[in-house]
Amino acid sequence: MARLVKRAYKYRFYPTSEQAEELARTFGCVRLVYNKTLAERTRAYTSEGRRVSYVESSATLTAWKKTDELAFLNEVSSVPLQQALRHLQAAFANFFARRAGYPAFKSRKKSRASAEYTRSAFTWRDGRLTLAKMREPLDVVWSRPLPEGARPSTVTVSKDAAGRWFVSILVEETIRPLPPAESRVGVDAGIITPATLSTGEKIVKPKHDRADRRRLARAQRDLARKQKGSANRQKARVALARIHARIADRRRDFLHKLTTRLVRENQTVMIEDLAVRNMGRNHSLARSISDASWRLMRSMLEYKSAWYGRELIVIDLWFPSSKTCSACGTLREEMPLGVRAWECACGALHDRDVNAAINILAAGLAKR
């Protein structure tokens, strides 16, 4: 049965100097409103034990706009400012429900510069997108078409550390499930090998990964040599950000292709529930774990399985997939990370990762 889902399509665009200035002002105002509201809500909660509602925050924003000090907030579209309040409200809801930590302040240097526009704050006509307070449509590079007949409900504009501008367009799309497949697969996520399948196949890292790391190391050394506060240091910082962005783009592309393949070829996919946050505290493995992007891979598998009528089964965090013999079920007491192959007392020879993937598949089938 076809599913109606909300899906975001992300594109690069190239603003005019006037548009860039308007968006820069909007980003700054969004960050200011978010931080001032967070400070006020924190004060009310800590000193008065009172929770501030979205309605109260919205009224406070209106009062701020009437003051001489913050009258400049009227110069940008009001919708992104209201959306910042809604995002903060959602952050507090997640905090009080214990789904997330306490909301953090947005940093001008470290936080993503973005602004969200709802339908009342942009015009979509003949495939051209014009934001509020702008006279001309954005020069968007339509790298792929939007679904036929789709009408954007929300538009998010952002600028990354490498200076690239993006627009993310949220639309409703009908997605039809894939034909049923007979195969099922267990997936063992690893550091050296991003994914090992229960079929025995190992998904290796892209060939460009090592070259990207060398470029990144050179750029980091170059930045460290530049004098703080100098124009050359700023140039080096942007150059480093571009390399980081390229690595992230390639990693995401690799994971999209991998997860799409797994979902298309298999009716059921089994994975482990890895404690990425705890494992990242191991300083000797933190970068490798970050590179592997296990959390992102799981997220992709979750929504793609839901879209295309597949089943994703997550195995318990403490399941000893690597230490259990997939042939006889014997459990070894220890299995150091350095051991990549081992022989069981029953005579079975195991590749560590393939054996784990087979055990994950068996555990997933037992849960069904």
Q: How far apart are CA 169 and CA 11, in angstroms?
A: 8
Q: Strand ranges (DSSP E) for the chain?
A: 3-12, 113-118, 122-125, 128-131, 154-159, 165-175, 184-189, 195-197, 202-203, 268-272, 311-315, 341-343, 349-351
Q: Among residues 126, 188, 222, 351, which one is catalytic?
A: 188
Note whether 76 and 22 are same-domain residues: yes
Note whether 133 and 42 are same-domain residues: yes
Note whether 107 and 150 are same-domain residues: yes
Widest Cα–Cα separation across the chain:
81
Q: Among residues 139, 201, 253, 272, which one is catalytic?
A: 272
Note whether 135 and 195 are same-domain residues: no
Note whether 203 and 156 are same-domain residues: no
Q: Let me know if 351 is a catalytic residue.
A: no
- Amino acid 274: pLDDT: 76
Determine the average pLDDT of the residues in 271-283: 60
Note whether 231 and 280 are same-domain residues: yes
Q: Let me know if 22 is a catalytic residue.
A: no
Q: How far apart are CA 58 and CA 40, in angstroms?
A: 12
Say which residue, 85 or 190, is predicted with more confidence: 85
Q: At what angle do helices 231-265 and 294-307 cross, to 10 degrees?
A: 40
Note whether 97 and 232 are same-domain residues: no
pLDDT band at 278 (very low <50, low <70, confident <90, very high): very low
Note whether 127 and 203 are same-domain residues: no
Q: Let me know if 188 is a catalytic residue.
A: yes
* Residue linked to tokens 């003949």: 126
DSSP state of 73: G
Query: Which residue, 175, 207, 234, sits at the end of a domain?
Result: 175
Note whether 243 and 105 are same-domain residues: no
Residue 213 has pLDDT above 60, yes or no: yes
The answer to whether 203 touches 195, Cβ cutoff 8 Å, is yes
Question: What pLDDT digit, counting tens, does each position of 11-43 carry?
Answer: 999 999 999 999 999 999 999 999 999 999 999
Contacts of 311 (CB under 8 A, 6+ apart): 267, 268, 269, 305
3, 59, 60: which is closest to 178 by C-alpha? 3
Note whether 163 and 222 are same-domain residues: no
Q: How far apart are CA 83 and CA 102, in angstroms?
A: 19
- Domain of 310 in residue numbering reads as 184-367
Question: What pLDDT digit, counting tens, does each position of 220-229 carry?
Answer: 999 999 999 9
Q: CB 50: neighbour CB atoms within 10 A?
A: 12
DSSP state of 76: S
Residue 289 has pLDDT above 60, yes or no: no
Count of structural domains within the chain: 2
pLDDT band at 1 (very low <50, low <70, confident <90, very high): confident
Note whether 169 and 192 are same-domain residues: no
Give strand pairing partners of 114: 158
Question: What pLDDT digit, counting tens, does each position of 190-200 carry?
Answer: 877 889 999 99
Say which residue, 2 or 262, is predicted with more confidence: 262
Note whether 189 and 170 are same-domain residues: no
Q: Among residues 172, 182, 343, 353, which one is catalytic?
A: 353
pTM of the model: 0.86
Chain centre distance of CA 204? 22
Q: CB 174: neighbour CB atoms within 10 A?
A: 11
Query: Which residue, 146, 175, 204, sits at the end of a domain?
Result: 175
Query: Which residue, 175, 203, 229, sits at the end of a domain?
Result: 175
